[in-house]
A and B are shown apart, each in its own frame.
Chain A
Amino acid sequence: MRLIVNGSALEVEAETLGHALDALDYGDAKVATAVNGAFVPAAARATKRLEDGDRIEIVAPRQGG
C-alpha cells in the first residue's frame, strides 16, 4: 500500500504499523511513532492497522533545545 512515511510517499507491504517498521528496516531501533498525527505507543504498533494513504511519523532522539 502507499504510505507517507516521514513526509515521503512509499510503497510498503504492511498490514500493521509493526509490519511497516519491520519492512522499513527499523529493527530494534529506539523510535516513537504516530499515525495521521496521533501518537501510537510501541505496545500498540502490532495491532495498529494501516490504510492506504496513512501518514506515519517515525522519530528518534536527536540534538536540540
Chain B
Amino acid sequence: MDGPLTFYGETIGSRLLLGTAQYPSPQVLADAARASGAEILTVSLRRESGRLREGQDFWGLIQGLGVKVLPNTAGCHSVQEAVTTAQMAREVFGSSWLKLEVIGEADTLQPDVFGLVEAAKILTDDGFRGVPLHDH
C-alpha cells in the first residue's frame, strides 16, 4: 500500500508500526526505531518500583525519538483490568489512542472477543480511540 495512513484525522507518514519489546538494549531499540522510519511505537505499562524506577529511562528514550505512541493493554485478562489499564495509560502517555487487548486463553493469547467488544464500548464512550490492529 502506498500513501499516508490516517488515524482519527491524524496523518501518519509511515505505515510501519513498531513494537518496543524484546530488543537487546535500549540503544538497539532507539537505533531500530530511527532506521525504520516508523512514526508510531507501541508501548505498555508495567509495575514500577519506587526504588528502581526502571520505566523512567524508557519513557525518556521514547520521548527523545519524537514519535507517537500507541499504548496497549497487553496482559489483561478481564474487561475491568483492560479498562483500568487503558485509563492509566492515557494519563501516563498523554494519548487516547489504544491498542486494546483482552486475553481469553493464557497459553495461546487468543483474545476474548466478547470481552474485547465490551471493553471497546466502555472505552470509546470514555473518549478513547481504538486503533484496529491484528498482529502476530
Contacts and interface: CB of A to CB of B under 8 A. Distances in A.
Contacts of B46: 59-60, 62, 64
B51 to A, nearest CB: 6
A46 interface: no
Counting contact residues on chain B (CB < 8 A from A), the size range is 35 or more
Name the interface size band of chain A: 20 to 34
Interface in B70-98: 70, 72, 74, 80-81, 84-85, 87-89, 91-93
Interface in A26-47: 26-27, 29-34, 37-39, 41-42
- The SS class assigned to the B binding surface is mixed
B7 interface: no
B84 A30 contact: no
B29 interface: yes
B115 to A, nearest CB: 15
B55 interface: yes
A15 B16 CA distance: 47
Given A7-B47, A37-B80, A61-B45, A30 B74 contact: no
